[in-house]
Amino acid sequence: MKKFALVMGASGEIGESISRVLAASGWSLYLHWNTNPPVELASFLREAYPQLEIIEVHADLSKPGASERLASQVFDVSCIVVASGHALVKMLMDTDDGEMDRLWQVHVQNPVSAIRQLSHIFQRHPKSYIVFISSIWGETGASMETVYSAVKGAQLAFVKACAKEMASSGTRVNAVAPGFIMTKMNNALDPAELESIREEIPLGIGKTQDVADAVDFLVSGKADYITGQTLRINGGWHM
């Protein structure tokens, strides 16, 4: 019997790595995207794993009502990974209401609403999983990323509450909080800045694979006595 996972934000670098690892572990996938359709990823996965179903689903999570659009495209699921999101590097005094609203919609409102609408499908399965890709800033806060830190912290609070509420139905709810992960988003940093950051982190700069492997562990069945937790993938940057 096929098992289905919805990866929200599959077109991003972390979401793509998660999708590749989950497919290798036998999960059929709904690949959610907004602006960049994951054509190459979907093609690769279909060729590499012909026994799986790979379904692309579109929804702009920055818009109200996107959760309904997303949920209407999902017909079976026992795992939801929320890897969608965008950063905002800006002083609070310079951040406008529209920017704050988009961060809330993308990181909290629409993902939580989609989970609410899909949670009844979890009842078909003895075990199910929800994993949020949060951030080290959701725990420690970051200057110049105040609102981003706030929504990432909200994700962590949701994970704790939802884990308590859904445990009796067999759903494990956890978060992964990456530290500095090397993605295209960091291309603006010059070599000296990267080296300075690397020196701050005991194990150096992380890779998207590190985050994907953590998600794979949480939904593998080997972590079924773990719920409501934040797994820190930060190389010892924050302990």
pLDDT in tens, 16-67: 999 999 999 999 999 999 999 999 999 999 999 999 999 999 999 999 999 9
Which residue bears the tokens 């989609």?
A: 114
What predicted TM-score, i.e. pTM, was given to this entire model? 0.96
Q: How confident is the model at residue 189 (pLDDT cuts 50, 70, 90)?
A: confident
Alpha helices in 28-145 (DSSP H): 39-48, 66-71, 97-104, 110-122, 137-140
Per-residue exposure over 56-75, b if at least 16 CB sit within 10 Å of its own CB, e if not: bbebebbeeebbebbbeebe
DSSP state for residue 184 in the 8-state scheme: G
> Could you say which of 30, 129, 148, 225 is catalytic?
148
Domain boundaries, the chain: 3-233
121-130 residue pLDDT tens: 999 999 999 9
74-123 residue pLDDT tens: 999 999 999 999 989 999 999 999 999 999 999 999 999 999 999 999 99
Which residue bears the tokens 């054509």?
A: 39
Mean residue pLDDT across the chain: 96
Fold observed for domain 3-233: Rossmann fold (3.40.50)
The answer to whether 203 and 159 are in contact (CB under 8 A) is no
- The verdict on whether 129 is a catalytic residue reads no
Q: What is the pLDDT of residue 66?
A: 98
The sign of the torsion formed by the CA atoms of 11, 16, 18, 21 equals positive
Give whole-number Cα distances, 217 to 24, 51, 91, in Å: 13, 22, 36
